[in-house]
Amino acid sequence: MTTDLQRIETITAAAAGKIGTELFFTFPEVMQVIKQCSANGIAVLGVETFATESQGLRASGCSDYDLRLRAKWPRVESANWHEYVNDNNLMAESYVRQNPAGDDHVYVLTTASLREFRDIQR
């Protein structure tokens, strides 16, 4: 299944590859991808970091800002979607800046458009 994130050409062009069906990004490209998500109304719900190794990719970290945002956003209404996207994406940018992974790492973004978010909630 193609996600709304994968429908944005500038984002797919910035991808360094895929893990299964999920795109992954290198630094600093991941920062521009997060900005593109914001511009397109896509919330970055989480960030995972993977070390690139000869055998493949090894998980090396993940964000937890979603836990802090749940207190502020127990329920997300369509009217507040852009504010929700802004909150998530600022936290995603902050996570990447505060957890620099180096050239031997890639980032996977867990994302959702409003439509996808509603589908997840059902």
Q: Specify the pLDDT at position 25.
A: 97
Q: Sketch the domain layout of the chain as residue ranges.
A: 5-117
- What are the pLDDT digits (tens) for 103-113? 899 999 999 99
- What are the pLDDT digits (tens) for 46-104? 999 999 999 989 999 999 999 999 999 999 999 999 999 999 999 999 999 998 888 89
Q: Specify the pLDDT at position 73.
A: 93
Tokens matching residue 88: 């998530």
Tokens matching residue 112: 């959702």
Output the CATH code of domain 5-117: 3.30.190.30
* pLDDT(120) > 90: no
Could you tell me if 47 and 9 are in contact, meaning their C-beta atoms sit under 8 angstroms apart?
no
Distance CA 112, CA 95 (A): 18
